[in-house]
Amino acid sequence: MAIRQILRMGHPNLRRVAQAVDIARIDSPEIKLLIQDMVDTLADSGGIGLAAPQIDEDLRVAIIEIPGGPTRYGDIEAMPLTVFFNPVIEVLDDQCEGFWEGCLSVPGLRGFVERPQHIRVTYTSAAKQTEELELRGFLATVMQHEFDHLDGRLYIDRITDTTLLAFEDEWLTHNSAT
Ligand code: NI
């Protein structure tokens, strides 16, 4: 197992559009090792999602694992550990709702971001199958946040009201969890 260093905002490699994963290579030792490193790194960080560019790998893959129940994002729906290769998002309803987001690459900050709340995600699974998920609410926000990393975007870029950007400890002091 290997816990990898997470790039922080300011590192130029967080701003690249990542390369598609060659599906034929999903079960190669290199990709399996990468996924294991991502799982180890995410578990160590206490986060709920991690994209390969955050550990300086130029590939379109992200993992998400949401334990559910009370978390630092409030009381949320669980999602078992899932690996998304080459995910594509389709917005099914462009009505937006906001959540206070945080990011392992932007440590110590929280920002309020509004995003569409009904999406479809199409991706290739670790078993090389094409899968589809229809998601609403917070899970829709989580997917959009993670997959933005594959296009070199951070949630900071999507904040429309900069008065709603805060240090996490101040935010915790002055806001009740959503
Ligand atoms: Ni992030």
What is the CA(107)–ligand 1 centre distance, in A?
10
What integer pLDDT is reported at residue 1 of this predicted model?
Answer: 73
Q: Which letter does DSSP use for residue 136 in this model?
A: E
Each domain of the chain, given as residue ranges in start order, spans 12-174
**What averages of pLDDT result for each successive group of 10 residues across the chain (178 residues)?**
95 98 97 98 95 98 87 75 98 96 97 98 97 96 98 98 96 77
CATH architecture of 12-174: Alpha-Beta Complex (3.90)
Q: Which residues contact 148 (CB under 8 A, 6 or more apart)?
A: 154, 155, 157, 158
Tell me which residues are annotated as active site: 146
pTM for the full predicted model: 0.94
Q: What is the pLDDT of residue 52?
A: 98
Predicted confidence at residue 113, as pLDDT, reads: 98
Q: How far is the CA of 104 from the centre of ligand 1 (A)?
A: 6
* Burial class of residue 126 in the structure, from the number of CB atoms within 10 Å of its CB (0-12 exposed, 13-18 middle, 19+ buried): middle
